Structure 1
Amino acid sequence: MSSQSEATALRAGAVVAALTGLSVAGPMLGLPASWLALISAGGLAALTLDAASFSGMGGHILAEALPGGQQRLWRIAAHEAGHVLMAQAETIPVSQVLVGSLACVRAGLTSRGATAFSVPDHAKLPLEELRRWSRVLQAGMVAEELLLGEAWGGRDDRHLLGRLWGLSGHDVDTARREQRLARREVTRRLRSDPDALKQQARQLLDQAPRLFRGGAS
């Protein structure tokens, strides 16, 4: 089960548990049965609407639209900006950049941000190609660290990078050493021009759509 599927299942379970608790405690609190029925129906309807219309991402979409949501989007924009700049440096074409849950849902993704490029699908990549992808895939996490002090995203990047190295035939020690070297190189490059990183992140942030507000679609 994916992390998003797990989160959706947890939300559904939480809603059902809350409604069950309310049905038990409601009469003791003096709540009319009609209120309990209305609240239960509303909770289940909201959960169904979220799953049907927003792929279970409705909570994230709403949070990004509320006060404070700009900071959530800024972190995502910083992450994707790192990928974009490093892909440009490595001459790897970027086909799409999405910032925010709403942009991702519109594109059919259950994610909060994404940078799309064509990852080689053959099993074994030359060492230099692995080094290039190690830099590009770790650039998002490094960008977050440089602009925000720590990285929250990057789970999918680490998974893909691990898969590429796992298919390469290189031993684990080599893979870890090369990834550490790549991360240091990415840090050096992005740190050398912080204004370019901030500018790219701001550009992506400005293009990010938000609920109740216009933006790129």
Structure 2
Amino acid sequence: MGTLNMLGLAKRIGARFLLTSTSEVYGDPLEHPQKETYWGHVNPIGVRSCYDEGKRTAETLTMDYHRGAGLEVRIARIFNTYGPRMCLDDGRVVSNFVAQALRKEPMTVYGDGKQTRSFQFVSDLVLQHNIRCINVDGLVVLMEGEHIGPFNLGNPGEFTMLELAEVVKEVVDSSAAIEFRPNTADDPHMRKPDISKAKELLNWEPKITLRQGLPLMVTDFQKRILSPEN
């Protein structure tokens, strides 16, 4: 409903509309890495489907307004993004691991930890003036360009959850423990963007590796967890 309301507003005032969609539209993919032409593999009645199908419907509405009302639209499919200023307990895997390691708690890995994700530092996606590494802003490039999309905006560097935990240990605490828990339902087994389209048409690709970006996030989390009064 939020997307529908904003599409109506954009139509009334003649604004260009950006939909920040998600890699979750691919569901538990049968194609790897995922291209924008892939239609996805989503369980429509699964426990995650409200998010997956919500974003898929948002893409449908956006394209309907483009075709039916001539609205200028852009669609970005954003893959896992991390960085400073994230909520400490937002449930995302990077912030979970970092916060747990800083609090001397075991890092919780669901399932066998072999499922993969790709992690993009925030300044590769949206401009952050307080971060010392300022890179190409994917969303601004998309909005200022002539191509509708959808475009995958993500870092193709692929890590298993166990590999991510090891990187967090390297950066935060080499003695951090890992605790395994039963996996959640419909958890995608793998996730990696094919960014060929963004590289060709937007001249965009991420610059910061996980090992480069994670320390910047950890510094921010340390300040908020270890010195909460600040």
Structure number with the bigger relative contact order (C-alpha 8 A, sep ≥ 6) is: 2
TM-score tier, shorter chain, comes to: under 0.3
Task: Decide which structure has greater strand share.
Answer: 2
> Which of structures 1 and 2 has the bigger CA Rg?
1
TM value normalised by structure 2? 0.23
